[in-house]
Structure 1
Amino acid sequence: MKKIITLVSCLISFSCLFSRGWKGDDTIAFRDSLMRKVEHLPADTSRLSVLLDAAYLHQNPPYNVFFAKCLYEEARKQRNIYYENLGAYYLAVCYDKKHDLDSITLWVDELQELASKIGKYDYYLEQKAAISRVLASKKMNEKAAFVAKEVLKEAQERKSNNGIVAAYNSLGCTYAAFNRSDEALAALLKGYRACKKTTKLSLRIDILSRLSSRYADIVSGLPSKDPDRVKRDSVLFYLEKMEGLLKEVLSKEPKTVNNWRDVMVDCQTRYVRYYMHHKDYSKTAEFLEKAKNLLTPEVDSVYWLNIQLMELQYYARTQEYDKGIALIDQVAPFVERGHIDVFETLIFYKSLILRDKGDWNEGIHTLKFLLHKQDSLSIATTTSQLEQVKENYQINELLMEKQKITNLNYLRAIMILGVLLVLMLLFYLYTGYLSKRIALAEKEAIKAAELSHADNLAKERLKLEISHDIRTPLNAVVGFAEILADADNLDEESKSAYNKIVQENATQLLDYVNNILELSRLESGKIKYVEGSCDFIGLFRAVIEEADKNGQNCVHAELHTDLEKQMVRTDQARLLSLFESLAVSTVDTEFYHSDITVKRVEEKSLLLVTVVNTPLAKERFENKTAMIRNEINAHFIHYFGGYYKVDEQAKQGPSVTFTYPYDVAGLHIH
Structure 2
Amino acid sequence: MEACRTTGLVSLFLLLFWLLIPGHIHGQQTSEQEKYHVDSTLFVYYQHCKAEIKSPSVMQMLDTLFLMAKEKGDLRMQAVAISSKTDHFYFGPSFEDQEDSLILYTNTIKDFARKTNQPQYCYFAWANRLITYYTKQKKLNLALYEANKMQQESESREEIDGMQNCYQALLRIYQSKELYKQATIYAQKLIDLTLKYNLNKYNLTNKYLELSNCYLRTNEPAKAWEALEESKLYIGNELNQGAYLCGLLRYYIHTKDMVKARETLKETTQLFSKNTELRIKRATNLLEIETNYYIETGEYDKALGVFQQAFEKLSQNGFITPTLYRTRGSIYTAKKDYQKAIESYEKAFELSDSLNSAQEDIAVGEFATILGMEHLNLENKELIQKNQEIQLEKRRYLIILLCIIVVIVGVMFFRETQLNKVLRRAKDAEQSASRMKTEFIQNMSHEIRTPLNSIVGFSQILSSKISEEDEESKEYTTIIEQGSNHLLQLVDNVLELSSLDSGTPIPIDTKVEINALCRQWVEKAKSSLKPGVELVYQPEQDELHLYTNPGRLSQVVSHLLHNSARFTEKGSITLSWHINPKQRSLVISVTDTGIGIPQDKQDFVFERFAKIDTFSTGTGLGLALGRLIMEKMNGSLVLDDKYTEGCSFVLTLPIK
TM-score bracket, shorter-length normalisation: 0.3 to 0.5
Return the structure number with greater relative CO, CA threshold 8 A, min gap 6: 1
- Structure having the higher Rg: 1
TM-score by length of 1: 0.43
Q: Give the structure-2-normalised TM-score.
A: 0.44
